[in-house]
Amino acid sequence: MNTISLSIKDLLDDKVYGLDLKLFAGEKGLSHRLYSSRIQKPGLALTGYTEHLHPDRLQVLGNTEISYLRQIPEESAVLYIEKLCTFPISSFIVTKGLNPPGFLKKAAEDAGIPLLGTPHQSSTFISLITKFLEETLLPTTHIHGVLVDVLGVGVLLLGKSGIGKSECALDLVIRGHRLVADDIIHVKKKMPAALVGQAAETIQYHMEIRGLGIINIKDLYGVSSIREKKIIDMVLELVDWDPEQEYDRLGIDDRVYTILGVELPHLMIPVRPGRNLTSIIEVAARNFLLKGMGYYSARDFHEKLLARMDVRPLGNEVE
């Protein structure tokens, strides 16, 4: 289970997503924790059938559910609600500005289950609360590096301190590309398998250049030079040039770098005086876009070379 959680009180305190919640009953249950971004409408659970009830999810009661509870005999409604409240329900939320029946308020209060209300329609509220929970509960991590948007490709630059990541990013900005984050990158996993990076609020749009100090990219180059967040598409790791190290010269084998369980294309770029790293990064981004369209330059070249040498690729031997 995801260890990231938030309390029901956090929903009440929201001022950003416009949940607009108020408390009807069950104040002592505001410390209940949510671990899932999924919600549930109880449906048949209001008739006593609780086989597929997920008490860990928010239970949303709309016009249909409240109307049903008001139309059936009150004795039956009380019995069903009391049975429902025997489960460790995280919270009930009544939509459309409806006033919950008194027996629902009493059962929630007695069981210590927060009963909240919102003026939003059910569909609108479900959309808002799902976005809120996904933003809050999905796995996150922090990475030391630089994230830039190069030709629409989210390029994460990694490497030891002082190797030139920020200088590369600055040169890319000068060439018309966009800075997302420098130094500390907040990375959040979006389902099913996307990673979104952004800068910490205190250092957003800023970059540290040794010899110059802290500069503000937005002020220097305008709003077209920055992005608030970007999906990370590939990882480029800058490493010191080692003459004894054998570097990939063909690019046939795909290397991956794993962050929060998501595998990203990974390239290792050796750094030494005279190498134009900015151009190399641009070419890497363009090559990534080509691969997305099904064009693999290295493999095409390798196949043509084998054909020229009249050698069959491995795995294609004819017995």
Active site residues: 144, 165, 183, 249
What backbone torsions phi and psi does residue 263 show, to the nearest 5 degrees?
-90, 130
CB crowding 56-78: b at 16 or more within 10 Å, else e: bbbbbbbeebbeebeeeeeeebb
Tell which residue, 139, 183, 134, has the closest CA to residue 161: 183
**H helical segments located in the chain:** 8-12, 63-71, 74-84, 102-111, 122-137, 165-174, 217-221, 277-292, 297-308
Tell which residue, 85, 120, 102, has the closest CA to residue 14: 120
Helix (H) or strand (E) holding 178: strand 178-190
| Residue 206, number of CB atoms within 10 A of its CB | 18
What backbone torsions phi and psi does residue 169 show, to the nearest 5 degrees?
-65, -40
Amino acid, single-letter form, for residue 102: G
Query: Chain-centre distance of CA 247, in angstroms?
Result: 33
For residues 133 and 17, what is the distance between their CA atoms, to the nearest angstrom? 10
Tell which residue, 236, 234, 232, has the closest CA to residue 158: 236
DSSP β-ladder status, 262-271 and 256-259? antiparallel
For residues 199 and 180, what is the distance between their CA atoms, to the nearest angstrom? 7
Q: Which residue has the tokens 């979006």?
A: 190
Residue 273's contacts (CB-CB under 8 Å, 6 or more residues apart) are none
